[in-house]
Structure 1
Amino acid sequence: MSRTRVHNLSISLDGFATGEPQSAEAPFGHAGERLHQWMFATRFWAEGGTAGIDDAFAVRHSDGIGAEIMGANKFGPPGWPDDPDWKGWWGPNPPFHTPTFVLTHHPRPPIEMDGGTTFHFLDATPDEALATAAEAAGGRDVRIGGGATVVRDFVTAGLVDHLHLVQVPIVLGRGVRVWDGLEGLEETYAVEAVSSPSGVTHLTFDKRAS
């Protein structure tokens, strides 16, 4: 049965998954690339990177995934719906290689990219989006790719089976937080924390059987 998963979502010690303000020049606002340095150092990210705890978690990002759902702010900076030529941050061959569903109040025709990624634009609730993505995934799992607001909405709706967050030892103070409104999350998920020599902590949440 298809599962819904979140992988490699980096957060600060105070729970922010991005800083502010987001722009074309600063996709993560004042956070810059600090939330993702742990990943950039892995073999998953680049040839010659490290193997070990961080890499072992990072590579799970793609295993068994048949579709992705992402929010509008992950696809582009503020104002991208007004740019008909905007095709995302990732160039002609995005790293998703599956049908990818962008949640937006400004739907547009699908964009077929190199490498198997096709962006579809949906104005839909989490339940509706997941039903559409699960059908496209053909029995494989659906990844909720972020950002923080989309992940929080899907967790709140009870739709996420596996949640992997990476707590990075920095304090951002402002931005978009994952934790808001998720009080008592540990009551419905089994939680495990694994510390890495890089200084980050991998937090996994697996939904308990009802």
Structure 2
Amino acid sequence: MSGKVFFSVSMSLDGFIAPESVPVDDFLAPDKQDDPDVQRWMAQWTELQQWAFPLRFFRENLKLGEGGEEGRDNDVARETFERTGANVMGKRMFDFGEQTWPEEAPFHTPVFVVTHTKRDPWERPGGTTFHFVNDGIEHALDQARAGPGDRHVRLAGRGAKILEHQKAGR
């Protein structure tokens, strides 16, 4: 049985975690880049995440290039990664990441995606395997906690939305 389950998100001081939903296909579609909803979402998301992009650990893990800022923020990002033995995320985070993560996805652990979409596990180079859990967050957490030994389970993305979407049948 694993250590703790923890929630890992970026949050503004006023409690902002992520913009309202825009269809995932719209984020990267060339013909949607002028859409005001897509532009607003990207601007809000970028502002919220801007602290992470310069960090050395973040840049290396996402294959964004060498170099980057060192210091306490970088240490926290690396320490969070190192203590994580499994990840749980919702379908929205997975869908966006599937289009934008490098071939070697940045988790290097099992990742349990809470979804209503049936799909076989998807193994990526570097130790990340995405498992698609169709029977609720409780089962995803049970599966995630079964494997990482004394390392922790990270609930990533808009974790609170997982419960909301599950209740609504999305």
TM-score, scaled relative to structure 2: 0.72
Unpaired stretches in structure 1, ≥5 consecutive residues: 78-85, 154-210
Shift of 1:71: 0.6
The RMSD of aligned alpha carbons is 2.5
Select the structure that is richer in helix.
Answer: 2
Q: How high is the sequence identity, in percent, across the aligned residues?
A: 36
State yes or no: 1:140 paired with 2:138. no
Do 2:5 and 2:152's aligned partners in 1 also have CA atoms closer than 8 Å? yes
Tell me the equivalent position of 1:35.
48
Quick one: distance in 2 between partners of 1:150 and 1:5?
A: 15
Quick one: distance in 1 between partners of 2:101 and 2:90?
A: 15
Structure 1's consecutive aligned runs of 4 or more residues displaced over 6 angstroms after TM superposition are none
Quick one: distance in 2 between partners of 1:39 and 1:45?
A: 6
Quick one: distance in 1 between partners of 2:89 and 2:56?
A: 24
Do 1:17 and 1:148's aligned partners in 2 also have CA atoms closer than 8 Å? no
Do 1:20 and 1:28's aligned partners in 2 also have CA atoms closer than 8 Å? no
Tell me the equivalent position of 2:69.
50
Shift of 1:95: 0.2
Unpaired stretches in structure 2, ≥5 consecutive residues: 29-37, 60-65, 164-170
Shift of 1:56: 2.4
Which residue type is aligned with residue 115 of structure 1?
G
Shift of 1:106: 1.2
Shift of 1:97: 0.7
Do 1:75 and 1:89's aligned partners in 2 also have CA atoms closer than 8 Å? no
Would the alpha carbon gap of residues 39 and 62 (structure 1) be closer, same or farther in structure 2, given more than 3 Å must change? Answer: same
State yes or no: 1:12 paired with 2:12. yes
